Structure 1
Amino acid sequence: MSKIKQITILLLFSIIVLFPLFSYAVDGAPESADSELPVEIDADSINFDQETNIYVAEGNVVARQAGITLMADKMVIDMTKGSLTATGNLSGLDEGGNELSGDSLELDLDLKGAILVNGTLFFQKNNVYIRSSEIRKVGPQSYEAGYTTYTSCDCDDESGERPAWSISTRSSTVTIGEYFTGWHSVFRVKSLPLFYFPYVKVPVKMERQSGFLLPTPGYSDVRGATLGNYFYWNIASTTDATFTYDHDTERGRGVGLEFRHYSTRRSYSELNLYYYREDDIDRVRGFRDEIDNLSRPLSADADRWELKFTHDQTLPLSFVLRADVNIVSDDEYLIDFEEDKDRRAVASLESTVSLTRKWDLYSFVLEFRRFDNLLSKKDEDVLQKIPELTFTALPRKIYNSPFYVALTSSAVNYIRTTGVDGQRVDIAPKLSMPLRPGKYFEITPSFAPRYTRYRTVEDAGTFYSDRLFFEFRTDAVSTIIKNFGESETDHGVIRHTIRPRISYVYIPNVDQEGNPSFDYIDDIDATNKLEYSINSTLSRRHEEGGAHRRYEYIYFNLAHEYDFEEAQRSLVDASDEREPFGDIEGELRLNPVKYVSFVIDGDYNLYEGLFDRYDATLNFSDNRGDNFYIAYRNDRDLGSLYMEAGATLRVHSKLDLKLKQRYSFDEERSLESRVDVKFKQQCWGAILTYQKTPEEETLLLNFTLESIGELIGLSESI
C-alpha cells in the first residue's frame, strides 16, 4: 500500500449518475455530459492500495463534481468493483440547495445503485424532507424505502424535535421531480396520529399536481354543518381544473367545475360551472325576510346553477376575441351564493362576446350583448344588442390645416320578445381646431353633427325615422406649475400644479317625436350649459426601489355647471322653480405621510343645502402589515346611509387578525360582521372565519400545508 502525498486527487467516476436528485436540481443539466467530468476529492489523508486498487480518504473528506458536493469523515473507493462507501457525518449538497444526509452511503457505479442508511433527502424548492432508515436507489430517478416520513417542517433532528405535521408510511417510493407515494399512511400532528390513508401521493416538485384538496369544514344556520370537498386536476402545463362537491346537512348539495386554460400570456380561458340542489327553497327564503329578498322576484326552484365564462384570445391580423358570460338559473341566485357584496346587489347581469381590431388611430368592435334583469321574473321586454358594430377614429390632423377630424359610429340590432325592437345606425363625426392664443391656455372649439337612422318593428308594423342635430362645444384649459426647491435631479422638489378648465356646450332643440328610446344615445336633449372645473395637486418626485416615482400629497378637484336651458325654461305652475345651477362635484385626496390617506368625494345640492351623495374613507397602515380603515357613505337618491370599518392586526409574526363591520343607519342594523383569524407557521397555516349577515351566520375553518399547499392526493380515506 502506498500513501498519496497530496491531499487532492481526480478520479474518473460519477456521483451525478448515482444521485440524480442533484442533477434534477441543476436546471436539468445533461447527466451524460457532467458524469464524464472527473471527481475531485480533498481529504486530510488519502491512501491508495495498488494491489486492491482501492482509495481510502479520511478526515474532512470532500468529493466534488459539476457543482455537487459530497462530504464524510471517510470514503472508500474501490476502482475495480466500481463502488464508493462514505461513512461518518455524511452530507451532500448541490447548486439548487437540495441536500442529502445520513449515517452511511454505498454507491455501486456498475449497477448505478445506492443505499443511504438512516438518511434524509431534502428538496429545497418545496422545502420537503423525506426520512427513512434505509433509502435504496432502484432506477434512474426512483428510490424505495421502508418506514418513511414526509414533511415540509423544519425541525432539529439532533434534539429529537418532531415536525408540526408529517405523513408516515410503512413503505414508499420517490420519483425525483414527480411524486412521493406511500402505502398504509398516517397523517400526524407532532406525534399524534389523526388520519389513516391506505395510499397517499404528494408532489416533490414545484408544479402543482393532481389530487384532492384539503376539505373545508364549517357551520351555518342556513346550511347546517358544511363540508367543501375539492379535487384538483393538473391536465397540462397550461391547463387545469378544480372539481367541487359541497355537502350541507340542512340545505342541500352542490357540485362545481373550474376550468382554466392559458395558451399564451395574452390568451386564456376560464370556465366556472356550479349546480346546487335545494332541499327546501322556502326555508332558505325564510332567512331572507329581513332584507325583503332585495326586491328580487321569487323565481328560484330546487335546481340552482350558475355559468361564468371568460375568454381572451389574440387572433391573426391583430384581432382580439373576448367573452365575458354571466348566466344564473334564477333572479335570487346571487343573494344566496355570491360572496362579493357589490355583485350580490346588482340589478342585472350582462354577458358579452366581442371581436376587436385596433390600429393607431382607429378601432373596430363587433359585440353581442345580453342583459338579464334580476328585478323582473321574465325578460321578454329586456332589449338585447345582438349584435352591435362600432367604429371609432381618434382625432387626426387634416393635412397641413389647423383642423382635426374624429368619428364615433355604431350600428345596433335590438331584439326582445315583447315590445318595440329594431335597428339603429348612429354616425357622429367631429371637427375641432386646437388653438394656443397664449403661453398658458389651450382653446379647442369643435363642431359635431350627429345623424341617427331608425328601423322600428312593433305590432302595428315596421317604421322608419331619423334625426339630425349638431353639437357646438368650446373647451379652454390651462396647466400652471410652480416648483418649490431646487435639485439637479428634481428629487425632493415640491411641485404645485393647477389645472382650470371651462367648457361651453350647445345642442339645439330637435324634434324627436316618433323615434324609439333604446338607450342613452336616443335620449340626448337640447343643451345650453357652461361647465367649469379646477383641480390642484401637490407632489414630490422621489426614488423608490430603483424607479423614479411622483408621490402625490394632495389632489383636489371641484366641478360645477350652469344650465342656460333650465334658466330660460317656462314654469309649470306657481310652485315650480328654476334650478340652473347643478350640483357642486368635489373630490379631495390627502396622503400627508406614507401610511395615512384620506379620500372624500361628493355632490352638493345648492338649492337644498345638502349633499346628494358623498363617500369618505380614512386609512391607516404601517410597515408591519397592520391596517385600519373607516368609510362613511351617503346616497340620498338610493336612500342609503351606511358605515364600513375594518382592520388587519399583525398580532404576532405568526398571527393575523382581520375585522370588518358594515352598518346601515337607514335600516338601523348591521349588514355584515366578519372576523378572520389567520395563523401561519413555517410549514402549515389555518384560517378561521366567522361571518354574520342579516340572512346567515357562518363559521368556516381552512387549513393549508406548506409544500402541498392545500393539496393531498388520496385514493381512499377512512
Structure 2
Amino acid sequence: MTRFPVPSTPQRLLRILTTVVAAASLPNYVLAQAVLPVAPPIAPPKAAQPTDRDAPAEISAEQMTGRPDRELQLDTKVEIVRGNTTITADHAKYHIVEDEVDADGNVRMTRSGDVYTGDQLKLNVDAGEGFVTHPTYKLLRNNGQGHADRINFEAEDRATVVDGTYSTCEGPDPDWYLRSSRLALDTSRDVGMARNTVVYFKGVPILGSPQMSFPLSDARKSGVLPPTVGATSKGGLEITVPYYFNIAPNRDLTVYPKIIAQRGLQLGASARYLDPSYAGETRIEALPSDREAHADRWAVSSIHTQTLTPGLTLNWNINAASDDNYRTDFANTMTGASQPLLLRDLNLTYSTAYWTAIARTTNYQVLQDPITPIARPYDRLPQLNFTAARPDVAGFDLALDSELTRFWHPTLQRGDRVYVNPKISYPIIAQGYFFTPKLSFHATRYNLDTVANPGDNNTPSRALPTASLDGGMVFERDAKFFGKAMTQTLEPRLFYVYTPYRDQSALPNFDSGVADLSFAQLFSENRFVGNDRISDANQITAAVTSRFIEPSGIERARVAIGQRYYFAQPQVTLGTAITDSRSDLLLSASGMLSQSFYAETNMQYSQSQHQLDRANYGVRYQPGPMKVLNLQYRQDLANDLEKSVDVSTQWPFAQRWYGVGRINYSIKTRKIAEGLLGMEYKADCWIFRIVAQRIPTATLQATTSLFFQLELNGLSKLGSNPLAALRSSVPGYQNINQTNTRP
C-alpha cells in the first residue's frame, strides 16, 4: 500500500516537486512503497466537519502510476481523503491540477458523514461538484437513505437524486418510501424537495404529488404539509391541506383550508411570533355560506403580550365566534367544545419592586346552551387596580389592594365600584412554629346608574375591619414509609378571624359568589369570592397536616384534616344560610406508595347530614414507559351533581401494539359522558394511530370524531392528529415515537 500526500491548491505543485523530484521526472514510473515516504494514518472524518480547502489530499493505493504533478492512476484499494470527504474505489484517476477524481468499481464516498456508493464517480473535490451513477446513499442527520439512477453533486451541501427513492427505514425493502423523478437534498437548509413524487407504504401507493418538501432534520421549513383526514358527527368527512410559511426563526404562518363534506370549505390561518419584548399567536377561521346553518360562520382567537418599557407590559386575549352553535358544530376547532364563555381582555400593567398598577377592560361572549342557559357575566369597562406590598418594615408586613371598576350588563343593574383594602401584619417565624396577627380594613363605595326601588340610595357604601390570628407548629420525627427511612412531620394550625356584621342587602352583586370549601378557603378571611360581599365572621379553623419526606427533600405522602368552627352564625348570605356551628369536615390524603403507584383522595363530609357531600378518589399506576392506568371516582351531592367514574389508560397489549382509552361514566344517567378509544402501532420507521373520541358540547349534545394518522418518521404525518386529544384525555400519556424514558 502506498500513501501519498497531495497538498491543496495553490501549494500543490510546489510541494510535490520538492518532495518527489525523481518520481516527477519519470512519467510512467511505478511508485513503490519503498520509494516514497508513507503519510501518517488519517482519522475517520467527523460528522458535520467543515471543509478545509487548504488541507492536503491524502492518497493511498496498492499501485500508483502517472505524474504526481498532473495526474495519478490509482489501482486496488484506492483511498482519497480530503478534509471531510473520503473516497474509496477499486480504480481511480486523480487530476491534481483540477483537483478532480474519476473513480469506478465499488465506489464509496463519505462526505460530512453522509455515505454514497455507486458504480462510477466523478467529483471536483475542492468545489464538491460531480456525480455518481447507480448509487445508494445514506444521510447522517436523519438516517434518510435510498437508491437512484444517478446523483448529481452541485456543492458540498447540495445534491440531486435522479429517478430515485427516499426513506428513513433500514434495509433494502423499506416499509415506506417515496419515489421521485428529481429529489433535491439541501443539507445546509435541512430541506428535501421532491418532484413528481409518489409515496408508497407496504408497496402500495398512498399519496402522489407534483411537488413535495420534507425536513432533513427537526428544523422548521416552508411548504405544503401533508393533508389531514378525519370525520365528525356534525360535519362528516373533513380534509385539510395546510401550507406552512417559515417566515423567520421566530415567526411563522400556517394556512389551512378545510373541506367539510356537509358544510363546505372552511378557511383558517394561524400566525405565531416570538421576540424578546413581545410574543403572541392569532388564529382565524371562516366558513362562508355554511350549507347546514345557511349562514356565514367564523371564529377569531388572539393572544399577545408585549413589554413596552421596563416594567410596563401590554396584554390581550381576544376570542369571538359568529354564533352560539359554533362550539358544538366545530368541536375540534379553536373555540373548544366545553368553552361557552369567550373571553375578551385587554390590559396594561406597570410593575415595580413594591407596587403594581393595572388598567384593563374585560367582557365575555356567551355561547348559550339551548337547554341550560348560562348567566352572562358583567363587563368591566374599565377596571383599574393598584396593589402594593412592602415586607419587613420594622418587622411589619404592609399591603394594599384597591380597585375602581365600571360594571356593565345589557339587562341587569349597572354602576361603578371603588374599594380600598389596606392590610398590616406582624409575622413571628421561628424554627418549629409561626404566629401572624393581622389587621385589614375593607372600604367600598358604589355609584349606581339605577336602583331597585324609588328612594333607594344610589351611592351605598360599606366599611369593615377584619382581624385575624394565624399560628402553627411543626414537629418532626424519624419514621419509615413502606420500609424506607423518612422524616415524618406533624403540623397543627389554628386560624382565627373576626369581622363584624354589616347589612349588605342593599348593595348590588356584580362579582361575588360562595367559594367552594377547600383547605385554601378554610384559611381565607372571607367565605365569598369577589368584593361585593364580605362575610361577617367570628370563627376559628383547626387543621393538622402530616407529611413523609425523603432525605432528599421529596415529599412522598401527605395527610391533612381540617374544619371551621363558628362562634356566631354568619348573617351575610348568598343563597343558603349557614345554620350549623361548624363547616363540613375536609380530609385530604395523597402519596406515592411506590415508584409506579400514586393515590390521592379528597373528601368533604357533612356531620349534620351524615353524608359525603363531595369526594374524589384517584389512583395512577405507571410501572414504565407507555404504561399508565388512571382510575378516579367523583361525587358532588352538595350541588346536586351526579356521581361519575373516570377510567383512562395507555397500555401495550401485543408486540408493538398499544391501546389507549378513556371512559367518563355517569352513574346517575347510566351513560358515557365522555369517551375515547384508540390503538397505536409502532414500527421501526412509522407509526399508525386510529382514535375515536366523543366530546360533550352542550346539554344532551355531543360530537363524535374519528382520527386516522400514519406517521412516517423523517417525512411527515398523514391524516388527522389525535395527540392533543390523547394527552388531554389520558393523564400520563407518552408519545410512543419518543425515547423510552421512565416518566
TM-score for the superposition, normalised by structure 2: 0.79
Q: Distance in 1 between matches of 2:210 and 2:402?
A: 66
Counterpart selection for 1:505 from 482, 497, 506: 497
Q: Would you say 1:584 and 2:585 are equivalent positions?
A: yes
| Residue type at the aligned position of 2:5 | I
| Residue type at the aligned position of 1:667 | T
The DSSP-based 3-state class of the residue aligned with 1:335 is helix
Q: Distance in 2 between matches of 1:147 and 1:569?
A: 82
The DSSP-based 3-state class of the residue aligned with 1:475 is strand
Q: Would you say 1:113 and 2:135 are equivalent positions?
A: no
Q: Distance in 2 between matches of 1:356 and 1:559?
A: 38
* Structure 1 counterpart of 2:245: 233
| Residue type at the aligned position of 1:660 | R
Q: Would you say 1:26 and 2:48 are equivalent positions?
A: yes
Q: Would you say 1:123 and 2:121 are equivalent positions?
A: no
Contact 2:231 2:706 in 1 (8 A): yes
Q: Distance in 1 between matches of 2:376 and 2:631?
A: 42
Deviates further, 703-712 or 458-467: 458-467
| Residue type at the aligned position of 1:225 | L
Q: Distance in 2 between matches of 1:256 and 1:471?
A: 53
Contact 1:216 1:228 in 2 (8 A): yes
Q: Distance in 1 between matches of 2:405 and 2:570?
A: 36
* Structure 2 counterpart of 1:496: 488
* Cα gap change, 1:567 to 1:78, in 2 (>3 Å): closer
* Structure 1 counterpart of 2:55: 37
Contact 2:152 2:159 in 1 (8 A): yes
Counterpart selection for 1:556 from 551, 554, 559: 559
Contact 2:46 2:84 in 1 (8 A): no
Question: Post-superposition shift, 1:36?
Answer: 1.4
Contact 2:227 2:718 in 1 (8 A): no
Cα RMSD of the aligned pairs, angstroms, is 3.4
| Residue type at the aligned position of 2:300 | L
* Cα gap change, 1:173 to 1:24, in 2 (>3 Å): farther
Q: Distance in 2 between matches of 1:553 and 1:240?
A: 43
* Structure 2 counterpart of 1:618: 619
* Cα gap change, 1:9 to 1:415, in 2 (>3 Å): same
Q: Distance in 1 between matches of 2:343 and 2:413?
A: 21
Q: Distance in 2 between matches of 1:233 and 1:397?
A: 53
Q: Would you say 1:452 and 2:470 are equivalent positions?
A: no
Residue by residue, what CA displacement relative to the aligned partner does 1:131-175 show, whole Å, maximum 9, x if unpaired? 3222223457544453121222222xxxxx322222212344444
Q: Distance in 2 between matches of 1:536 and 1:62?
A: 72
Q: Would you say 1:132 and 2:148 are equivalent positions?
A: yes
* Structure 2 counterpart of 1:545: none
Q: Distance in 1 between matches of 2:82 and 2:708?
A: 49
Residue by residue, what CA displacement relative to the aligned partner does 1:282-325 show, whole Å, maximum 9, x if unpaired? xxxxxxxxxxxxxxxxxxx7333322212223332132322222
Question: Post-superposition shift, 1:534?
Answer: 1.3
Counterpart selection for 2:275 from 263, 271, 274: 263
Q: Distance in 2 between matches of 1:409 and 1:567?
A: 25
* Cα gap change, 1:214 to 1:441, in 2 (>3 Å): same
* Structure 1 counterpart of 2:634: 633
Contact 2:389 2:397 in 1 (8 A): no
Question: Post-superposition shift, 1:11?
Answer: 3.0
Residue by residue, what CA displacement relative to the aligned partner does 1:558-595 show, whole Å, maximum 9, x if unpaired? 1210122218999xxxxx99311101112110211011
Q: Distance in 1 between matches of 2:718 and 2:669?
A: 43
The DSSP-based 3-state class of the residue aligned with 2:449 is strand
* Structure 1 counterpart of 2:650: 648
Q: Distance in 2 between matches of 1:62 and 1:687?
A: 47
Residue by residue, what CA displacement relative to the aligned partner does 1:596-619 show, whole Å, maximum 9, x if unpaired? 011111211111011111111111
The answer for unaligned runs of 5 or more in structure 2 is 11-43, 512-529, 696-700, 720-743
* Structure 2 counterpart of 1:152: 168
The DSSP-based 3-state class of the residue aligned with 1:147 is strand
The DSSP-based 3-state class of the residue aligned with 1:464 is coil
Q: Distance in 2 between matches of 1:497 and 1:457?
A: 55
* Structure 2 counterpart of 1:365: 358
* Structure 1 counterpart of 2:101: 84
Q: Distance in 2 between matches of 1:699 and 1:186?
A: 26
Q: How does 1:702-717 map to 2 (within 5 A)?
A: 702-710=709-717
Counterpart selection for 1:388 from 374, 383, 404: 383
Q: How does 1:262-411 map to 2 (within 5 A)?
A: 262-264=274-276, 267-276=278-287, 277-281=289-293, 302-339=295-332, 344-346=337-339, 348-375=341-368, 382-398=377-393, 401-411=394-404
Question: Post-superposition shift, 1:57?
Answer: 4.2
The DSSP-based 3-state class of the residue aligned with 1:587 is strand
* Structure 2 counterpart of 1:539: 549
Counterpart selection for 2:110 from 93, 109, 126: 93
The DSSP-based 3-state class of the residue aligned with 2:328 is helix
Determine which structure has greater relative contact order: mean sequence separation of CA pairs < 8 Å that are 6+ residues apart, divided by chain length.
1
Q: Would you say 1:600 and 2:607 are equivalent positions?
A: no
Q: Distance in 2 between matches of 1:383 and 1:470?
A: 27
Question: Post-superposition shift, 1:390?
Answer: 1.8
Contact 2:161 2:183 in 1 (8 A): yes
Q: Distance in 1 between matches of 2:217 and 2:596?
A: 39
| Residue type at the aligned position of 2:708 | L
| Residue type at the aligned position of 1:495 | T
Q: Distance in 2 between matches of 1:340 and 1:136?
A: 45
The DSSP-based 3-state class of the residue aligned with 2:221 is coil
Q: Distance in 1 between matches of 2:542 and 2:249?
A: 55
Contact 2:82 2:125 in 1 (8 A): no
Identity %: 20
| Residue type at the aligned position of 2:269 | L
* Structure 2 counterpart of 1:480: 475
| Residue type at the aligned position of 1:274 | E
Question: Post-superposition shift, 1:467?
Answer: 1.8
| Residue type at the aligned position of 1:35 | R
* Cα gap change, 1:568 to 1:322, in 2 (>3 Å): closer
Contact 2:504 2:572 in 1 (8 A): no
Residue by residue, what CA displacement relative to the aligned partner does 1:539-562 show, whole Å, maximum 9, x if unpaired? 2134xxxxxxx4332111112101
* Cα gap change, 1:631 to 1:563, in 2 (>3 Å): same
Contact 2:368 2:374 in 1 (8 A): no
Question: Post-superposition shift, 1:518?
Answer: 1.7
Residue by residue, what CA displacement relative to the aligned partner does 1:209-228 show, whole Å, maximum 9, x if unpaired? 22332223334444333323
Contact 2:146 2:167 in 1 (8 A): yes
Question: Post-superposition shift, 1:430?
Answer: 0.9
Q: Distance in 2 between matches of 1:562 and 1:310?
A: 44
* Cα gap change, 1:617 to 1:354, in 2 (>3 Å): same
* Structure 1 counterpart of 2:229: 217
Deviates further, 236-245 or 662-671: 236-245
TM-score for the superposition, normalised by structure 1: 0.82
Q: How does 1:186-197 map to 2 (within 5 A)?
A: 186-197=198-209
Deviates further, 385-394 or 85-94: 85-94
Q: Distance in 1 between matches of 2:46 and 2:308?
A: 37
Question: Post-superposition shift, 1:343?
Answer: 5.8
Residue by residue, what CA displacement relative to the aligned partner does 1:328-347 show, whole Å, maximum 9, x if unpaired? 22333323333599963455
Q: Distance in 2 between matches of 1:139 and 1:25?
A: 17
* Structure 1 counterpart of 2:674: 672
Contact 2:212 2:224 in 1 (8 A): no
* Cα gap change, 1:371 to 1:580, in 2 (>3 Å): farther
Residue by residue, what CA displacement relative to the aligned partner does 1:502-541 show, whole Å, maximum 9, x if unpaired? 1110111124354332222011121111112111111213
Question: Post-superposition shift, 1:501?
Answer: 1.1
| Residue type at the aligned position of 2:546 | S
* Cα gap change, 1:531 to 1:347, in 2 (>3 Å): farther
Q: Distance in 1 between matches of 2:344 and 2:169?
A: 47
Residue by residue, what CA displacement relative to the aligned partner does 1:610-644 show, whole Å, maximum 9, x if unpaired? 11111111111122321111111111114221111
| Residue type at the aligned position of 1:538 | F
* Cα gap change, 1:458 to 1:346, in 2 (>3 Å): same
